[in-house]
Amino acid sequence: MSQALRLATSLSRAYPWVSSPFIVSAPMRVMSGPAMAVAVSRAGGLGFLGPSVKTQDMIKDLEEISALVHDLRKSSSAFSTLTCTLPVGVGFQLWSDDLETAISGIQKFKPCAAWLFAPRNGQTDYDNWSRRIRGASSQTQIWIQIGTLAEAKGLLKGSERPDVIVVQGADAGGHGRAKDGLGLITLLPEVIDALAGSQIPIFAAGGIADGRGAAAALCLGADGVVMGTRFLASEEARISRGYQNEIVRACDGAVATTRTLLYNHLRGTMGWPEEYSPRTIINRSFIEHQEGRSFDELKKDHDEALKAGDAGWGPEGRLATYAGASIGLIHGVKDAATIVHEVREGVLERFSAVGKSNL
Amino acid sequence: MSQALRLATSLSRAYPWVSSPFIVSAPMRVMSGPAMAVAVSRAGGLGFLGPSVKTQDMIKDLEEISALVHDLRKSSSAFSTLTCTLPVGVGFQLWSDDLETAISGIQKFKPCAAWLFAPRNGQTDYDNWSRRIRGASSQTQIWIQIGTLAEAKGLLKGSERPDVIVVQGADAGGHGRAKDGLGLITLLPEVIDALAGSQIPIFAAGGIADGRGAAAALCLGADGVVMGTRFLASEEARISRGYQNEIVRACDGAVATTRTLLYNHLRGTMGWPEEYSPRTIINRSFIEHQEGRSFDELKKDHDEALKAGDAGWGPEGRLATYAGASIGLIHGVKDAATIVHEVREGVLERFSAVGKSNL
């Protein structure tokens, strides 16, 4: 059996409800809530709950997910083959999440996967969290998100090896590598070559928003694909309408988005490890920041815009609009299941179309 | 007939010796010489001659190509179906190349394609060059390289429409967009959507170095793929051994390469339009520039390194080493035909492997 086939088999054992190709909704902080995570898994993908403002809030979200899954099992055949594992994953920002609270939630609800990202102390934190999670729930697989070749190699040297590695390219929205990131087209195959023989499945994230990007990532060697921004424009996203409208409206990702810490600071979010910064859609706050307006003035206008609600987003808005460079590929809000199905069909369509005209 | 099929048919009419998938060697300045261009076309790809130091030098290169092709026609069946067109293309840097000299070369040698890049005056230059080239040789197709959505849309508004559009992603080596570039994974499908219905074939460049990247680009919607850096490590490249060794040695493209004008200035190359800057492998010149060493001192050491020949390249070297972020995927020098064949087979292998394990 080839390595690719062996990995596909091991993935289908761990996530038996997931169809091929393996499609994942990213754990976007707050915005990937219970409804989105369950809808994606129910559609044959793997949904992740995003990190919470406070780790304690995760418990409430997991309770809601648990109830949703319980109802699905009673009313249909969905997830009927599962016994004790919750068919959704949970994401953590290691530098800000509380380990003890996380562990108690994992122990109680047994999510099928825990996605670890953004440690303050690199591999040490990954090892510590992984060991504690495995101790609390042997069914919970460890997913680790990296964005550089060096991080990928570091994972092989840790005391705890992840079950899945997510390689995030520079086109991704929200937080990623501040300065040493790169697009998937070169980063992903180079990481895959470096990890060859490790037997760890590798998933691709960053810039994938439709069947074309998903098919491309699979060709580059990914065992599955992760989408974030595409799911911000889903019915189930826990997101303000003004924010979501802006994801749909914006286009030309190279020009309309940038990486900057400005919006973190305007929101009062401090403390991200310095390796990371978020990609966001540019609006008045950033433009005026570039023009040299003072932070205090920008903060005042930002806080006024907060009170305006949905009108605070958009080209003339001032609020953080974290999003990936794939915004130009997203033209409408759909329910999460439709997104999963369309991307899956899009992958098949691409393989068929390329075969007919190019091969 | 689908649009993809129609485009494939029109391409195979214009370039009858080219096999699917359509593989192109980029017109890298000086380094893509006659031997490389002919070898790539002979292997069933399309080879481009790179721009010359002076446009006049192109005439000598075209004479050499013409003689090589003449010999091939006599001694084998290669290119036997062609009558008056030279089965290689020629690349021009519009801001620095001399139009009149270019036109006289095109008129005399009738290359199958002219690749236009880096105009000083945007669409006006593209229109002017395209009109003059078509007037000089109706068999010569116009290829135009762009790196942004805005440029792509601009091409539809010009008075002369290109026959092929090359979309260059930010991972590319050498000159590309200085600040508003993006990886192919989001840029390419967004450009393709914007040009949908134009009937113009779209080729992908930037970060493609093996069958994985080529297959990915085709999935993203490209009608063909262009490789530059991969061909720098070909036997036929017109390149110093020290430079070529560094392409093979270097890895971790995100960290080991950067875009900077420093090496242009050290070499005395001035005048590139400000939208562009080149991606290069980092060495002592750039590191010391970052550390604040004066340009005059760096220039002195650079000029000393020039005298050292091959030893002037490498991590401790000081000479310009323009290369793409795909360097980590290139592990040896091969002849150009082997590169074309391996990438072609690699594409087929990826489609087969993904089909077996993921679909």
pLDDT tens-place string over residues B235-258: 999 999 999 999 999 999 999 999
Q: Which residues of A touch B329 (CB under 8 A)?
A: 186, 189-190, 193
Across A203-218, average pLDDT: 98
Distance of CA A43 to the CA centre of its chain: 17
**Binning pLDDT at 50, 70 and 90, where does residue B355 land?**
confident
Distance of CA A45 to the CA centre of its chain: 13
pLDDT at B264: 97
Beta-carbon separation of A171 and B181 below 8 A:
no
pLDDT at B82: 66
pLDDT at residue B8 tops 90: no
pLDDT at residue B85 tops 90: no
Residue A270, in any domain of the structure: no
Candidates A278, A173, A202; CA nearest to A22 is A202
pLDDT at residue B233 tops 70: yes
Residue A39, in any domain of the structure: yes
Is residue B326 a contact partner of residue B209, using CB atoms and an 8 Å limit? yes
Beta-carbon separation of B253 and A347 below 8 A:
no
How many C-beta atoms surround the C-beta of residue B76 within 10 A? 10
Average pLDDT, chain B: 95
pLDDT at A355: 79
pLDDT at residue B300 tops 80: yes
Q: Which residue has the higher pLDDT, B357 or A230?
A: A230
d(CA A142, CA A150): 19
Average pLDDT, chain A: 95
Q: Judged by CB atoms within 8 Å, which residues 138-157 of B form the interface with A?
A: 148-150
Contact partners, residue B124, CB within 8 Å, separation at least 6: none
**Binning pLDDT at 50, 70 and 90, where does residue B29 land?**
very high
pLDDT at residue A1 tops 60: no
Phi, psi of A68 (to 5 degrees): -60, -45
Q: Quote the percentage of chain B above a pLDDT of 70.
A: 97
Across A111-123, average pLDDT: 97
How many C-beta atoms surround the C-beta of residue B261 within 10 A? 16
Q: Which residues of B touch A150 (CB under 8 A)?
A: 252, 255
Is residue A8 a contact partner of residue A20, using CB atoms and an 8 Å limit? yes
Q: Quote the percentage of chain B above a pLDDT of 90.
A: 90
CA distance B170 to chain A (A): 8
Report how many domains make up chain B.
Answer: 1
pLDDT at A74: 86
d(CA B231, CA B40): 9
Element (H, E) at B281: strand B276-281
pLDDT at residue B78 tops 80: no
d(CA B339, CA B194): 32
Q: Which residues of A touch B208 (CB under 8 A)?
A: 185
Across B300-314, average pLDDT: 97
pLDDT tens-place string over residues B196-232: 989 999 999 999 999 999 999 999 999 999 999 999 9
Q: Which residue has the higher pLDDT, A339 or B6?
A: A339
ipTM of the complex: 0.96
Residue type, A209: A
pLDDT at A354: 86
In this complex, is the C-beta atom of B328 within 8 Å of any C-beta atom belonging to chain A?
yes
Is residue A164 a contact partner of residue A141, using CB atoms and an 8 Å limit? yes
Domain of B216 in residue numbering reads as 3-240+327-356
Residue type, B349: E
Q: Which residue has the higher pLDDT, A16 or B76?
A: A16
Residue A349, in any domain of the structure: yes
pLDDT at A83: 63
CB-side neighbour CA atoms (13 Å) of B118: 24
Q: Which residues of A touch B206 (CB under 8 A)?
A: 185
Q: Which CATH number characterizes residue A156's domain?
A: 3.20.20.70
Residue B138, in any domain of the structure: yes
pLDDT at B76: 76
Largest separation between any pair of C-alpha atoms in chain B? 62
Is residue A227 a contact partner of residue A35, using CB atoms and an 8 Å limit? no
Point out the residue among B183, B348, B355 whose CB comes nearest to the CB of A185: B183
∠ CA(B319), CA(B322), CA(B323), 5° rounding? 135
pLDDT at A8: 75
Q: Judged by CB atoms within 8 Å, which residues 338-357 of B form the interface with A?
A: 347-348, 350-351, 353-357
Q: Quote the percentage of chain A above a pLDDT of 90.
A: 90
In this complex, is the C-beta atom of B252 within 8 Å of any C-beta atom belonging to chain A?
yes
In this complex, is the C-beta atom of B212 within 8 Å of any C-beta atom belonging to chain A?
yes
**Binning pLDDT at 50, 70 and 90, where does residue B164 land?**
very high
**Binning pLDDT at 50, 70 and 90, where does residue A76 land?**
confident
Residue A145, in any domain of the structure: yes
pLDDT at B280: 98
Across A98-106, average pLDDT: 98
pLDDT at A7: 73
Residue A259, in any domain of the structure: no
In this complex, is the C-beta atom of A118 within 8 Å of any C-beta atom belonging to chain B?
no
Q: Which residue has the higher pLDDT, A137 or A181?
A: A137
pLDDT tens-place string over residues B99-155: 999 999 999 999 999 999 999 999 999 999 999 999 999 999 999 999 999 999 999
Beta-carbon separation of A252 and B150 below 8 A:
yes
pLDDT at residue B303 tops 60: yes
Across A50-63, average pLDDT: 96
pLDDT tens-place string over residues A127-153: 999 999 999 999 999 999 999 999 999
The answer to whether the Cα torsion of A63, A64, A69, A72 is positive or negative is positive
Q: Kindly report whether the peptide bond that precedes residue B21 is cis, defined as omega within 30 degrees of 0.
A: yes
Residue A61, in any domain of the structure: yes
Residue A315, in any domain of the structure: no
Best of B185, B203, B354 to disrupt the A interface (most A CBs within 10 Å) is B185
